[in-house]
Structure 1
Amino acid sequence: MDDARDEVAPSAHRAVGILGAGRFGAAIARLCRDAGIEVTVASSGDDPAAACAADVVILAIPLGRYRSLPADLLRDRIVVDVMNHWWEIDGARPDLEDPTTSTSETVAAFLDGARVVKALNHASVWELENLGRPAGDPDRRGIAVAADDAGARAAVAALVDALGFDPVDAGPLAAGVMFEPPTEIFGSDATAAEIRAMLDRFPRSQRGRVVARARGKA
């Protein structure tokens, strides 16, 4: 369901919380600090309350552990799902491999009341560490953003821009399936125009055909 609640774009006086202190979470934290955004990182074993109190909370833990997230603390928060399903880490997980839904929709169903946004997951760590650019730079890379909540989607798009990347509006949360692994977008480190073209041709891709058949749209 679309929600048009207004959001103040993240800026120097806004705060970001990150659950997960691995290399990916650390790269995002560094980008936030470089942009003058207050950031709190909670690693495994830390009390997540301070990170979950931020304006935007980024989930940077292994997707297979999503049920360990503090759903009560994330209710009504803008939550950015950067998690991906890796068979090597998560093992066989029918709940994360179901082509009738995106993994972010599965996460959103668990985080009842959270304003879940899919973004940043398709970027490589190398891209985050090296390819952030000022607005207007011709080499600026793009980041797809998907959410059912229009206000949350706009807020995360503004955050992506502040971190040095061009946000690409991918539409509702279900569209997140278009930039999960193993899609064309995933790990492509592409420009916004290239990402838009990849989104447009997803239905004709092998993964797109699998999803369409599963969802009865073939």
Structure 2
Amino acid sequence: MTTIGIIGSGNIGSTVARLAVAAGHDVVLSNSRGPHTLQDLVSELGPKARAATAAEAAAAGDVVVVTVPLRAYRDVPVEPLAGKVVIDTNNYYPDRDGVFEELEDGSTTTGELLQKHLPQAHVVKGFNNIWAGHLGDLSRPAGSADRSALPIAGDDEAAKQAVTELFDSLGYDTVDAGPLAENWRTQRDTPVYVSPYGAYGQLPGTQASTQVVREALAAAK
């Protein structure tokens, strides 16, 4: 099984950690406030989870999930992520993150920003289009008729294959949205953002099949 490093242990990070532990993976969690603030979560997750610094989580992970506010992406450690597959969950909310002119004018995407910050890593956009509550609720074993799919985007085919295999173990099919330049199709206010999985804040979620996700990606303007 794989070790999953998690940089940022909020709603998405903690949900991914729960799914990963349930699938048999080891998890190394970190946040901006220090390992001591994660003891309750680690205790809940059990012996396959431990808390660490961001640099330690980056170094320990075979795959590393970066799930921090976009404004903090430059704080993600660079050297320990060289050569690694990095899943970028970030979304751009100007009210929270401040204005990024290069995102406002469409000259780049959030995934490309993180890839530029981590030039030796293999960044794959994922987990950014689903509410954490639905992410935890809709996980299903492989072959289930009511399995949902999540979109990914990335520039490295081997990295996307690694993420596809990880998502499969966590209970999700995958739809390839193309390179990082196309990850705007999965960002906020697009057809594939949150709504295919049900209403935000409401459980249970709604199945979003690979066909539903593929059509929503194609409908993005």
TM-score w.r.t. structure 1 length?
0.83
Query: Which residue matches 1:133?
Result: 140
Query: Which residue matches 1:19?
Result: 7
Query: Which residue matches 2:219?
Result: 201
Shift of 1:75: 1.4
Query: Which residue matches 1:214?
Result: none
Shift of 1:139: 1.8
Query: Which residue matches 1:172?
Result: 179
State the identity as a percent.
38
Q: Alpha-carbon deviations, 1:37-69, whole Å to 9, x = none?
A: 111101114322331121100001111110111
Shift of 1:144: 0.5
The equivalences for 1:141-160 within 5 A come to: 141-160=148-167
Query: How many positions carry a matched residue from both structures?
Result: 191
Query: Which residue matches 2:104?
Result: 97
The equivalences for 1:1-218 within 5 A come to: 13-46=1-34, 47-53=53-59, 54-188=61-195, 189=197, 190-202=208-220, 208=221
Q: Alpha-carbon deviations, 1:64-95, whole Å to 9, x = none?
A: 11011111221111100001111221122224
Query: Which residue matches 2:202?
Result: none
Query: Which residue matches 1:211?
Result: none
Helix, strand or coil: the match of 1:136? coil
Question: What is the root-mean-square deviation of aligned Cα atoms in Å?
Answer: 1.3
Q: Alpha-carbon deviations, 1:126-149, whole Å to 9, x = none?
A: 111211011122221110011110
CA distance in 1, matches of 2:24, 2:183: 28
Q: Alpha-carbon deviations, 1:11-56, whole Å to 9, x = none?
A: xx21110001112110000000010011110111432233112110
Q: Aligned pair in 2 of structure 1 residues 97, 71: CA closer, same or farther (>3 Å)?
A: farther
CA contact (8 A) 1:95 1:106 kept: no
Gaps of 5+ in 2: 35-52, 198-207
Helix, strand or coil: the match of 2:139? coil
Deviates more, 1:84-93 or 1:180-189: 84-93
Helix, strand or coil: the match of 1:44? coil
Query: Which residue matches 1:213?
Result: none
CA contact (8 A) 1:96 1:106 kept: no
Q: Aligned pair in 2 of structure 1 residues 59, 157: CA closer, same or farther (>3 Å)?
A: same
CA distance in 2, matches of 1:125, 1:196: 21
CA distance in 2, matches of 1:125, 1:191: 18
CA contact (8 A) 2:54 2:76 kept: no
CA contact (8 A) 1:17 1:51 kept: yes
Q: Alpha-carbon deviations, 1:189-216, whole Å to 9, x = none?
A: 22211011112232xxxxx2xxxxxxxx
TM superposition outliers: structure 1 runs of 4+ over 6 Å: none
CA contact (8 A) 2:126 2:150 kept: yes
Partner amino acid, structure 2, of 1:68: D
Deviates more, 1:35-44 or 1:137-146: 137-146
TM-score w.r.t. structure 2 length?
0.82
Deviates more, 1:29-38 or 1:162-171: 162-171
